[in-house]
Each structure stands twice: as structure tokens, then as C-alpha cells.
Amino acid sequence: MENWLHKQADLKPNQLALIAENKQYTFAQLEQIVIKRAQQLMTILDDNRRVGVLTTNCLAGYVTILALQQLGRQLVLLNRRLAKPELEDQIDQAQLTQIVQDDAFELDLSNTQQFTFHYLSQLAGQPAEILADFKEDQVTSIMFTSGTTGRPKGVEQSFGNHFYSAMGSVLNLGLLPDDCWLAAVPIFHISGFSIMMRSLIYGIPVRLYDHFDAHQINADLLAGRGSIISLVPVMFEKMLADLPRNQAYPASFRQVLLGGGPVKQVTLVASQTRGISITQCYGMTETASQIIALNPKDAAAKLGSVGKPLFPVSLRIVQQDSEGLGQLEVKAPNIAVGYLNQADKYQASFDDGWFKTGDLGWQDDEGFIYIKGRQGDMISSGGENVFPQEIEAVYRHLPEIEDMVVVGVPDTQWGSVPVALVKFKSDAFLSVADLRNYGREQLAHYKVPHDFVEYSNDWPRTASGKIQRYRLVTEYQNIKKRPS
């Protein structure tokens, strides 16, 4: 395929491509500033094909991501919310030697050169060889996700993965000449990065927000400045709460793409009352965004469903129990092409050509999919995936702790939050404040348990010796009910 940015600059030079930091750029203008940044990057880049990126949703980060893509470098998109040990583990896995980062990022990371966007902007630049074509099987982005063991895996996404993901989305949502996609989700996540790729493939503009502000986004939507937005449920709930009761979004705003966790019934009812069209969806980093989506017209009748597989996607449910609950497996051209340095794990994630999502679900008589939960006991908290084993492994380094089990409990704001049941060693103890502070030094804040309780009984286990986490959720709730 011809270079997507260059193609749009050729086909639609005067079409708006990006609105960011109160400035507007056409595709021709965007291509110019991206090429300039590519030339600046050539001044500092070594021969490593992978380059780390640490960025907020800022214009400089957006441009730098596209510039590295133009140079054929593999973008290793790092989550700047992670703690230093977590980032350094991912840097080591990706064998990164250089990182480009937003000016506000302050951590000094080991064994790698760090260059701020401001530093890059001061360079004169040198000639850069821009990719003429994007090959379908060529890896362009790597994002880390966590497996059921808790250690992050680098997901290798190709140009073809992103192209077919965009095709599945547009065949579901449609495309209008005046469409503009609002990006308030992080561009270092697949949810935000996929918006960038759709812009290049569809030839539509992105309105980029440096942070989520429900009031500002509502003001823009009410003024007709956007037609589609990607959100996680907690973000949409805040927008509904901020939206004045006597106001409604204009007809030009046509869709909320909602994923990252279950949607409350009250939220669905409120959106229907306000005339807001929602497309609930399901996807993974390994599928380069959504692969299942619920059409808005089916939302009321199929409450709780994530919908049906999108056009390029085939789905089956295997090892079903008596109620039809089983493991979801998919085939699609947007399945990631590999796991970084873990070919064995990548091969093991397939069953006769079908990708094992690791999620449990069932399908009704009309083909609608319902997700029951993650095989690996993943906790979905505010759109972030939290894995108990990862948290437990970090806390077991403390000399006072004999053992710990983390479970997810319902939360009105975040959907679910991690809490910890702790066994201390004899004559040892740490306060909740001590445990929380330790976690914030070692983990991203959203992974730090919201509560810690001391637990002295034997862990409930299956016949094969595995801990029954669902029973510990009840145990935790019972402990919290006891008089203090």
C-alpha cells in the first residue's frame, strides 16, 4: 500500500487532518511538519530499528509518532503512567537504545538515551528516506499488554493489522464527508493509536485532547466540532453528568464508541433518553482495536452484549459448558503478527489457526456475544487492564509479607478496583499507608490496591491447588462488614 500520509496529502491536500493545541492542519501541512520531524530525528537516531515513545496526547507526540512511522522505525509505545521498574523491564524486552519523550516526563531511565520533543524541535535536521510503501506484514507498532502470568508482553502490530481494523470499523460505523474523530483516550494505547491510523486511512481529521475534560468535550460537541468519539464507560458517565438537561448533541454528532469495560444499564438508558447513539465494542491490543461491536439499534434489546463480530472477523466459542459458556477464539486479518521475543507464546495463543482471546463468553440464539470474564482473572478498572499476579509478585518482595492475593471488587466509579488480602510473617506488620506508598513506587497508580486487609485463613483452593479468587471477593466483603 502507498504510504498512507503521503496518499492523503496527494488525494486531499486541503482536507483538514488534525486539530490540536488550538491549531489546524491539512493533510498537506501535516505531511510537511511530519517530514521535518523525520529529518530532525535522523540527526539523533542510531541503527536500532525500534524507538521508544513516551508521550501524552500532545501535538509534538502525535507528529513524532507519524515521523517515526514514515522512517520505517518500529514504534514502541510506552505507557508513561508506569513506574520506573515497569518501564525499564519493557525497555529491556524491546532492547531499546533510544527514547523520544514529552518535555514533562522526568524519569531517568537506565541504559537508554532520552530525547525530549523540545530538543528535537531545535535540530536543523538532515535528509531522511521516507517510506514509499507500507507493507502489510511490516511491524509498525509495539504495545505492551499483560498476560495472565502478569508479565507484560510486547504485541507486534503490522500495517495490515491496522488497515483491516480500520476497515472493520468503517464497515460498521459508516463514513461521512464531514466526519471528525475526537481523541481523548491515550494515543499510546491501541484505543488512541487506532484513531490516528483511521485518520490516515479514511482521510478524516482528528481533534486531539491533551487530557480528558468532560466539560470541554461537551462544549465542542454541542458546537458541532466532532462526529465520533472513543471512550471508556467512566469517561462517558462524566460527560453525561456534565451535559445540561436542556441540551442535546446536534445531529452532526453521530456516535460514541464505547469499550474497555461493561456499561451500566442506567448509562444506556440515560444515553437513549438523551438521543445519544452508542456502539458498545470489544477488542484487544492483539486485535488492533475492536473486533466485536453492538449496533446502537440493538442496544436496548441486547443489554449486556458486546454485539457481533465485525466484517473481517470470524468467531467461535470452544470448550462450552452446559450453559454455553466457553472460550472465545477469533480469526481475523487484524490479529497481531507476533509477541516480541516470545514466538513460543505467540504460537501457543492459537488453536488450529484460531486466536485464543483468553476471555470467557457465550452467544445467544441470534448470534450476539456476551463476555463473562477473563480466564486470567483480569480486573478491568476504568478502561485499564489490571492483573492480580503482577501486583502480588511486586508486593512479595517486601520482607514483612508472607503471601498476598489480589482480587477485583465492584466500584461505582471505575467499574472494578483491585483490593489485597495480606498474610504477614510472624511478628511483622505494615500499615495500609505503608503498603500503598510502596505500591506507588513500584507500580502504576491504577494498579495499586485500593484497600488492604489482613487475612489469616488458608486460601480457598480448587482440587488442583489453584486459588479460588471469586470466593476471596466474598471473604473480603465479609471482612469489611465486621465491626471494627
Over 80: is that where the pLDDT of 467 sits? no
pLDDT of residue 464: 40
Residue 201 CA to chain centroid, in angstroms?
20
CA 399 to chain centroid, in Å, comes to 34
Lowest mean pLDDT among 157-166, 225-234, 464-473: 464-473
Q: Which grid coordinates belong to 404?
A: 498476598
CA–CA separation, 133 and 136 (whole Å): 9
User: Please, what is the angle between helix 265-273 and helix 233-242, to 10°?
Assistant: 40
Cell numbers given for 271: 444515553
Give the pLDDT confidence of 81-115 residue by residue, as tens digits: 888 998 999 999 999 999 999 999 999 999 999 99
With 60 as the cut, is the pLDDT of residue 182 above it? Answer: yes
Alpha-carbon distances of 402 from 161, 345, 448, rounded to whole Å = 44, 30, 18
The pLDDT tens digits for 124-174 are 999 999 999 999 999 999 999 754 345 679 999 999 999 999 999 999 999
Percent of the chain, pLDDT > 70? 96
Which residues does residue 24 pair with via DSSP β-bridges, in sequence order? Answer: 19
Q: What percent of the chain has pLDDT over 90?
A: 75
Distance CA 356, CA 371 (A): 14
- Provide the pLDDT confidence category of residue 376 given band limits of 50, 70 and 90: low
In contact, 249 and 276? CB cutoff 8 Å: yes
DSSP letter at 206 equals E
Rounded to an integer, what distance in angstroms lies between the CA atom of residue 99 and that of residue 410?
37
pLDDT attached to residue 359: 85
Letter for the amino acid at 466?
K
At 257-304, the pLDDT tens digits run 998 766 777 788 888 889 999 999 999 999 999 999 998 788 778 877
Higher per-residue pLDDT: 246 or 35? 35
Reported pTM: 0.83
Give the pLDDT confidence score for residue 146 in this predicted structure: 54
Domain boundaries, the chain: 4-370, 379-481
* Least confidently predicted of 309-313, 321-325, 375-379, 463-467: 463-467
Task: Work out the mean pLDDT of the chain and round it to a whole number.
Answer: 92
Q: Are 186 and 208 in contact (CB under 8 A)?
A: no
DSSP state of 291: E
What is the grid cell recorded at 150? 502478569
Which position has the higher pLDDT, 359 or 39?
39
The residue written with cell numbers 488458608 in the block is: 458
pLDDT recorded at residue 262: 66
Q: Tell me the fold of 379-481.
A: GMP Synthetase; Chain A, domain 3 (3.30.300)
Q: Which three cell numbers stand for residue 238?
A: 462524566
264 in helix, strand or coil? coil
How far is CA 139 from its chain centroid?
Answer: 18
| Mean pLDDT (whole number) for 371-389 | 77
Three-state DSSP at 473 gives: helix
Burial class (CB in 10 A: 0-12, 13-18, 19+), 23: exposed
Per-residue pLDDT at 463: 42
Query: Which CATH code fits 4-370?
Result: 3.40.50.12780
pLDDT value of residue 41: 98
Distance CA 187, CA 207 (A): 12
Angle between helices 190-202 and 159-173 (to 10 degrees): 80
**pLDDT at position 373:** 66
| Angstrom distances, CA of residue 449 to CA of 233, 238, 260, 388, 390 | 21, 23, 19, 10, 12
Sheet of 98-101, strands arranged across? 113-116, 98-101, 50-54, 74-78, 139-146, 152-158, 338-339
Q: What are the cell numbers at 477?
A: 466483603
The pLDDT value given to residue 484 = 61
